[in-house]
Amino acid sequence: MKIGIVGAGMVGSAAAFAMVMRGIGSRIVLVDLDEKRARAEAEDIAHAVPFAHPVVVEAGDYVDLKEAEVVILAAGVSQKPGETRLQLLTRNRAVFQQVVGRVMEVAPKAILLVASNPVDIMGQITQQISGLPPGRVIGSGTILDTARFRWLLGRHLGIAPGSVHGYVLGEHGDSEVLAWSNVRVGSVELGSFAAQVGAAITADVRARIDEGVRRAAYTIIEGKGATWYGIGAGLARIVGAIEADENAVLSVSCVSDVLGVERVACSLPRVVGRAGVVAELMPELSAEEQSGLRASAALLKEAVEALG
Ligand code: ADP
């Protein structure tokens, strides 16, 4: 499968590297406004191929995205000093108007996988610009927040994160909701599992994990300026689910109606396969989680409407 990546910055490149290491895709094309950067990243990543899987990694222009089945959109501009969130969004929308238009000209059948932040809003904008059915425009959403949640819970319980089943829902950002009430480990309800292994989820543990998920990006940015490995692996996971027509349940962002908020992009557990998002699941939530998710969706909807 041919995979395009527009925006060969840290996130786009980390996604390409993760795909090479996992053997996802047969050809990966990196496109960036900064052609020199795209060429350098492609060559550096290609040098990992002899240690991994036979994937072709190259830099290219938009025409080289022809017949790509998935295009990751990781391009973006960063916030200028004194710039408001809305001003930044307006500038990023202008970038996407250009980028999405060019991708659609050459690869109209591609699934668009949006990684640029704020990812839910950028995903919704991408769906509007492209006119594609909602299920073919996927935002990475809370895939990473969910991974952080499972990893922290797994570490506390002494269990592989892959055996921890739980989701972070709503916005990829401050209003996100950790759906504690339906976490299961193996098939066992979290509280019962924690008691059985002698690692109770006290209020303190819960607050620490909540903070660890919610503040992870801030802490990492403080130390190294940005985050890229985790999201790169998450993007590779989504592309892998598409390529293998896996019908995997992943928390990703997509435009839909959420608890009465109409046509809003935010994350829910969704079934991802060759056609993109093929089904959406609403977990059973506590009253508090449900109102948190509704508020998160409403906040995103407001932000999109403010953009006009
Ligand atoms: P991140 O950490 O999100 O990856 P970066 O700044 O490292 O952020 O990467 C963003 C990339 O997007 C940069 O390489 C930049 O050149 C690229 N970019 C910005 N605008 C465009 C555009 N209009 N078309 C293609 N690439 C773009």
Whose alpha carbon is nearest atom 7 of ligand 1? 9
SS3 for 211-239, per residue?
HHHHCHHHHHHHHHCCCCHHHHHHHHHHH
Reported ipTM = 0.96
pLDDT of 86 reads 78
Whose alpha carbon is nearest atom 9 of ligand 1? 9
Q: Kindly state the average pLDDT of the residues 77-96.
A: 84
Q: Kindly state the average pLDDT of the residues 290-299.
A: 98
Which of 32, 36, 125 has most ligand 1 atoms within 8 Å of CB, for mutation? 32
The chain-wide mean pLDDT, for the chain, equals 96
pLDDT tens per residue, range 272-284 = 999 999 999 999 9
Query: Is residue 160 located within the same domain as residue 79?
Result: no
Alpha-carbon separation of residue 13 from 46, 60, 104, 306 (angstroms): 11, 14, 22, 32
pLDDT band at 78 (very low <50, low <70, confident <90, very high): confident
Query: Is residue 135 located within the same domain as residue 149?
Result: no
Query: Is residue 13 located within the same domain as residue 78?
Result: yes
Report the relative pairing of strands 56-59 and 70-73 from DSSP bridges.
unpaired
Q: Which of 139, 173, 195 is the last residue of a domain?
A: 139
Q: If you measure from the C-alpha of residue 206 to the centroid of ligand 1, how many angstroms do you get, rounded to a whole number?
A: 36
Query: Is residue 296 located within the same domain as residue 169?
Result: yes
Query: Is residue 131 located within the same domain as residue 278?
Result: no
Q: Is 7 annotated as a binding residue?
A: yes
pLDDT tens per residue, range 133-190 = 999 999 999 999 999 999 999 999 999 999 999 999 999 999 999 999 999 999 999 9
Q: Is 76 annotated as a binding residue?
A: yes
Q: Kindly state the average pLDDT of the residues 89-112.
A: 96
Q: If you measure from the C-alpha of residue 76 to the centroid of ligand 1, how many angstroms do you get, rounded to a whole number?
A: 5
Residues carrying an active site annotation: 172
Give the structural domain span for 186: 142-306
pLDDT band at 85 (very low <50, low <70, confident <90, very high): confident
Whose alpha carbon is nearest atom 12 of ligand 1? 75
Q: Is 286 annotated as a binding residue?
A: no
What ligand 1 atom has the least distance to the C-alpha of 228? 2
% of the chain surpassing 70 pLDDT: 100
Q: Kindly state the average pLDDT of the residues 224-236.
A: 95
Q: If you measure from the C-alpha of residue 159 to the centroid of ligand 1, how many angstroms do you get, rounded to a whole number?
A: 37
- Give the residues surrounding ligand 1 with Cβ less than 6 Å away: 6-12, 32-34, 37, 74-78, 95, 98-99, 226, 228
Query: Is residue 60 located within the same domain as residue 159?
Result: no
Q: Which of 139, 154, 176 is the last residue of a domain?
A: 139
Burial of 88 (0-12, 13-18, 19+ CB in 10 A): middle
What CATH number does the domain containing 27 carry?
3.40.50.720
pLDDT tens per residue, range 184-196 = 999 999 999 999 9
What CATH number does the domain containing 283 carry?
3.90.110.10
Query: Is residue 186 located within the same domain as residue 289?
Result: yes
Burial of 52 (0-12, 13-18, 19+ CB in 10 A): middle
Q: What is the count of structural domains for the chain?
A: 2
- Cβ within 8 Å of residue 76, ≥6 positions away: 7, 9, 92, 95, 116, 117, 122
Q: Kindly state the average pLDDT of the residues 76-96.
A: 84
Question: What is the distance between the alpha carbons of residues 203 and 200, in angstroms, rounded to a whole number?
Answer: 9
Q: If you measure from the C-alpha of residue 8 to the centroid of ligand 1, how many angstroms do you get, rounded to a whole number?
A: 6
Scanning the structure block, which residue is given the tokens 């985050």? 227
Residue pair 141/120 in contact (Cβ under 8 Å)? The answer is yes
Query: Is residue 209 located within the same domain as residue 70?
Result: no
Q: Kindly state the average pLDDT of the residues 36-43.
A: 98
Residue pair 4/110 in contact (Cβ under 8 Å)? The answer is yes
Q: If you measure from the C-alpha of residue 33 to the centroid of ligand 1, how many angstroms do you get, rounded to a whole number?
A: 7
Q: How many CA atoms lie within 13 A of 80 on its CB side?
A: 8
Q: Kindly state the average pLDDT of the residues 66-87.
A: 87
Query: Is residue 219 located within the same domain as residue 240?
Result: yes
Which of 11, 31, 62, 88 has most ligand 1 atoms within 8 Å of CB, for mutation? 11
Position 161: which residue type? P
Q: Is 32 annotated as a binding residue?
A: yes
Whose alpha carbon is nearest atom 18 of ligand 1? 75
Query: Is residue 81 located within the same domain as residue 218?
Result: no
Whose alpha carbon is nearest atom 3 of ligand 1? 11
Q: Is 145 annotated as a binding residue?
A: yes
Query: Is residue 147 located within the same domain as residue 135?
Result: no
Query: Is residue 116 located within the same domain as residue 200?
Result: no
Q: Which of 139, 173, 201 is the last residue of a domain?
A: 139
